[in-house]
Structure 1
Amino acid sequence: MEHEALFDLANPELWVLIGLALFIGLLVVLKVLPGALFGALDAHAAKIKAELDEAQQLREEAQALLADVKAQREEAERQAAGMLEAAKADAALIASEAKARLDEQITRRAEMAERKIAQAEAQAAADVKSAAVDLAAQAAEQILVARLATGASDGLVDAAIAQVGAKLQ
């Protein structure tokens, strides 16, 4: 029943279907529908292809940039390693120079201390000799004073005085 009502010429849905079929048929006959449809599809496909080509180009550029960045990083790492080795070598050189200077300074100070000790020993020996001479002179003076006070004359002293007198003339 429903089908019978669809093919009834008084049915507006039938006329809409016929109009649509005629319109599509007219578009096909005039090659508007396939041309426009295929043209739109071709344009869309071309746009997609262009986007894919651009994406491929961007990908290649990104890969080239990545390779360049990796090469730069490796070069920077090599330079850093070289700088580190140079710094270690410089530090070792500075340490050895500092050790040599320290050893030289210690040697110099030890020699200076030995010289001061030798000077002090010599000064002490001179002081001891001077004190011994002074003490001997005082002792001789005391002995002479004691002998002269007793009034006894010493033959040696008298002979020495006579010698001094003879030499002075």
Structure 2
Amino acid sequence: MADIATLFVAEGPAAFGVDSYQWVSLAMLVLIGVFIWKKVPGMITGGLDDKIAQIKQQLDEAKALRAEAETLREEYASKIAGAQKDAEKMMEGARREADAILAKAEADSEAMVARRQRMAEDKIAAAERDAVDNVRASAANAAAAASRSIIAEKHDAEADRALADKVISSI
């Protein structure tokens, strides 16, 4: 034990009767005194307070930005929901319009088919009338031709004179 104690006891020159470890202690006291006299602790705490204030300001700005971002997110979420509702309404309107167009097209095609059927029936009826008229005209022409030939065969000049005398006497 004694050997260890001698290791820690420094034997060396002393100035003004003060050992080296006492000079170090005195230097530390002077340094601490200068720090206090120059208000170094106040500067350190002031710097720390400034840093704390900056951090608080940054946190407040971050909170404000977060609140703004959440507001924008909610706004865009509502816009997206509104856009989806509008798209659904537009799709429903388009479906109704397509159904109406389809129904109108079907009605128009049915009306067109009915018109064309009537036109065809009218053409057929006109063709029938023309055919009947042609048959009647042909029959009348044939009857007239047959009458002429019969009259020519059975009616001679003597019969013509008797007929002419009969007509003249009736007048």
Question: With structure 2 as the length reference, what TM-score do the two structures score?
Answer: 0.76
CA distance in 2, matches of 1:158, 1:53: 142
Q: CA deviation at 1:33?
A: 1.9
**Are 2:111 and 1:111 aligned?**
no
**Are 2:51 and 1:44 aligned?**
yes
**Are 2:151 and 1:165 aligned?**
no
Aligned to 1:71: 78
> What does residue range 84-163 of structure 1 map to in structure 2 within 5 Å?
84-148=91-155, 161=163
Q: Percent identity?
A: 31
Cα 1:55–1:145 change in 2 (3 A) is same
Q: Is the 8 A contact 1:147 1:153 kept in 2?
A: no
3-state SS of 1:89 partner? helix
Cα 1:21–1:111 change in 2 (3 A) is same
Aligned length: 160
CA distance in 1, matches of 2:154, 2:37: 171
One-letter amino acid of the counterpart of residue 150, structure 2: I
Cα 1:142–1:33 change in 2 (3 A) is same
Q: CA deviation at 1:24?
A: 3.0
CA distance in 2, matches of 1:49, 1:143: 136
Q: CA RMSD in A?
A: 3.4
Cα 1:166–1:118 change in 2 (3 A) is farther
Deviations 1:102-144 (A, max 9, x none): 2112111111210111111011011001101101211221222
Q: Is the 8 A contact 1:28 1:34 kept in 2?
A: yes
Deviations 1:8-29 (A, max 9, x none): 679xxx9xx6796355312443
Stretches of 4+ moved more than 6 A in 1? 17-20
Cα 1:116–1:164 change in 2 (3 A) is farther
Structure 1 unaligned spans of 5+: none
